[in-house]
């Protein structure tokens, strides 16, 4: 917290003669920088836009220290975070497609299995949005059964920092 306070003091001194719009931009950059420094590189899909209280105290502090409207600061932060989330999701889809393609090339899975995986992951993403923890655990068991019945190793269906598709495992009894 001392680092944040020091950074805020430094920014406040430097921003004393800058326009309100420039202050808003600088404050937003500061928030995003602090989020990155804080190790929140893998923010999950429930961001500040979906959970307003998640960053409300930081937004309030920035708005107060830089004499800005907190709702404007919050709007800018939410907009930037949503944009970042969309970029991460798009990159994740590209990475997934590349890993699956490589797994097909390496003979770890068939193209049909890769297509099944892609469809299943999209389906799960939509279905899991509003599930409780217990419901997600039941869904995980169902996913294991689905993977077994399609001869797909579970590591092709893991995400969130776990092993990605195709790493260290071959599909049993691969069929075209």
Return the domain boundaries, the chain: 2-86, 106-157
Q: How far apart are the C-alpha atoms of 131 and 120, rounded to whole Å?
A: 16
Over residues 118-123, mean pLDDT: 90
pLDDT at 164 over 70: no
- Choose the most confident range, by mean pLDDT, from 25-39, 43-57, 137-151: 137-151
The tokens describing 153, both together, are 């190793």
pLDDT exceeds 60 at position 112:
yes
Per-residue pLDDT of 30-48, as tens digits, reads: 555 555 544 443 344 444 4
DSSP per position, 81-102: HHHHHHHHHHHHHHHHHHHHHH
Rounded Cα distance, 173 and 158, in Å: 21
Determine the pLDDT at residue 165. 42
- Confidence category of residue 14, pLDDT binned at 50, 70, 90: low
């Amino acid at each position: 917290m001392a680092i944040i306070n020091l950074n805020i003091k430094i920014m406040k001194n430097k921003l004393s003669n800058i326009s309100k719009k420039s202050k808003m931009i600088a404050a937003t950059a500061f928030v995003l920088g602090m989020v990155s420094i804080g190790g929140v590189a893998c923010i999950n899909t429930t961001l500040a836009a979906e959970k307003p209280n998640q960053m409300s105290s930081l937004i309030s502090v920035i708005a107060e220290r830089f004499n800005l409207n907190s709702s404007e600061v919050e709007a800018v932060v939410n907009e930037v975070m949503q944009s970042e989330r969309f970029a991460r999701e798009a990159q994740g889809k590209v990475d997934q497609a590349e890993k699956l393609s490589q797994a097909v090339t390496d003979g770890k899975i068939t193209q049909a299995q890769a297509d099944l995986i892609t469809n299943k992951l999209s389906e799960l993403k939509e279905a899991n949005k509003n599930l409780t923890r217990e419901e997600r655990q039941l869904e995980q068991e169902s996913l294991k059964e689905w993977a077994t019945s399609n001869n797909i190793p579970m590591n092709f269906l893991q995400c969130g920092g776990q092993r990605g598709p195709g790493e260290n495992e071959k599909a049993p009894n691969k069929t075209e």
